[in-house]
């Protein structure tokens, strides 16, 4: 049972000095307590979630609102390359595109971040300079997460030392599915500490969590452990980011802020390729979590090919006609 201070029993001085009350301070005291809490969360109505996103997906965004939404989506993109064949040259090219997505239009906003493997974070940091664009690095034995904790922590520290100011970690899905919630929680806490001042995005790999109930539980676990963002997927397995999954995660961050006063971001990643996909996500954010999340500080779109479609649609709005595929660079 959590004991809450009675504010009426405090003097004005004591009230100012009293630490904020953590309503979940007892949750992580044991595996049993954590399991009881996570399995006590309200169940997710999968049919209802699918119906909700289907209705929101029919919303039509036109003219001025569409222009604003496209620019907002561009500013939310984590422009990503996570291939074994990545080179320093490819990362520099991606960084140039991140800074000036449309070289012919200086009013086009830059993206939020460039996301790379940790060993290339230094290349990205040098190429981005003082642009203000973040360098995100995947770590903790991405994408499988199958390594010792010591190796994962070393991976994080190396990425931060190379210049990453955002770390995208993967949770141990095997431990989560086996019900070892405290192990997963403690690993996220350790990774968060290793991040130092870098922000931590916690990848749930929702395609392996099987149920939306598990997505809700994993979201709360990651937030309680101190994640700054919760992220759907590595983009390496299917299904990746789906609208029902994103709905559940947005509900979780909304409810978590109500309960704790702490706001946590959301990042769907994998399979978001078209402007229509991006618009559906923005509508979902606004209608579920609220407009406070309509900012690159609190919502990101992990993608590689999405930016090209956003640029083509933006150019169509600006000029009245579509350009050919050679209007944008091939990443």
Question: What are the residue numbers of the active site?
Answer: 168, 231, 267
- Phi, psi (degrees; rounded to nearest 5) at 62: -120, 160
Distance of alpha carbon 216 from alpha carbon 206, whole angstroms: 10
∠ CA 302-304-310, nearest 5°, is 90
Residue whose pair of structure tokens reads 């993109």 in the numeric block: 77
SS3 percent helix, strand, coil of the chain, rounded to 5, is 50, 10, 40
Q: CA 34, CA 218: separation in Å to the nearest integer?
A: 12
Q: Residue 122 contacts by C-beta under 8 Å, 6 or more apart in sequence?
A: 162, 163
Residue 17: other Cβ atoms inside 10 A: 9
Cα–Cα distance measured from residue 213 to residue 46, given in angstroms and rounded to the nearest whole number: 9
Tokens at residue 161, please?
């030392």
For 138, the 3-state DSSP assignment is strand
Tokens at 27, concatenated:
């949750």
Task: Single out the residue of 293, 303, 244 nearest to residue 269, CA to CA.
Answer: 303
- Angle in degrees, 0-180, between the axes of helices 31-38 and 181-195, rounded to the nearest 10: 100
Phi, psi for 179 (deg, rounded to 5): 85, 10
Strands across the sheet containing 134-138: 265-267, 229-231, 199-203, 166-170, 134-138, 113-117, 77-80, 301-303
Which ranges of 261-329 does DSSP label H, i.e. alpha helix? 275-288, 306-319
């Amino acid at each position: 049972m959590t004991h809450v201070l009675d504010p009426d029993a405090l003097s004005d001085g004591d009230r100012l000095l009293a630490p904020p009350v953590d309503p979940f301070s007892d949750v992580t005291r044991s595996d049993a307590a954590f399991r009881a809490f996570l399995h006590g969360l309200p169940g997710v109505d999968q049919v209802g979630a699918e119906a909700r996103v289907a209705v929101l997906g029919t919303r039509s965004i036109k003219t001025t609102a569409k222009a604003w939404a496209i620019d907002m989506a561009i500013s939310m993109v984590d422009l990503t390359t996570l291939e074994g064949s990545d080179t320093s040259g490819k990362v520099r090219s991606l960084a140039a595109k991140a800074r000036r997505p449309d070289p012919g239009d200086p009013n086009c906003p830059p993206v939020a971040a460039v996301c790379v493997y940790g060993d290339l974070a230094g290349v990205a940091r040098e190429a981005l300079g003082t642009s203000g664009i973040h360098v995100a690095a995947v770590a903790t034995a991405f994408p499988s997460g199958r390594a010792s904790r010591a190796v994962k922590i070393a991976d994080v520290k190396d990425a931060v030392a190379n210049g990453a100011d955002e770390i995208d970690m993967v949770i141990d899905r095997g431990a989560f599915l086996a019900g070892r919630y405290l192990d997963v929680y403690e690993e996220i806490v350790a990774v968060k500490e290793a991040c130092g001042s870098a922000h931590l995005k916690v990848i749930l790999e929702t395609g392996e969590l099987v149920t939306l109930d598990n997505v809700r539980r994993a979201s709360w676990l990651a937030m309680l452990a101190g994640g700054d963002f919760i992220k759907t997927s590595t983009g390496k397995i299917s299904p990746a980011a789906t609208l029902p999954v994103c709905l559940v995660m947005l509900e979780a961050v909304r409810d978590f802020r109500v309960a704790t006063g702490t706001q946590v971001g959301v990042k769907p990643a994998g399979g978001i390729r078209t402007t229509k996909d991006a618009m559906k996500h923005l509508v979902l954010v606004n209608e579920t979590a609220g407009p406070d999340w309509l900012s690159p500080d609190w919502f990101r779109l992990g993608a590689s090919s999405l930016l090209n479609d956003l640029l083509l649609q933006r150019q169509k709005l600006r000029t009245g006609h579509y350009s050919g595929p050679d209007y944008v660079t091939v990443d």
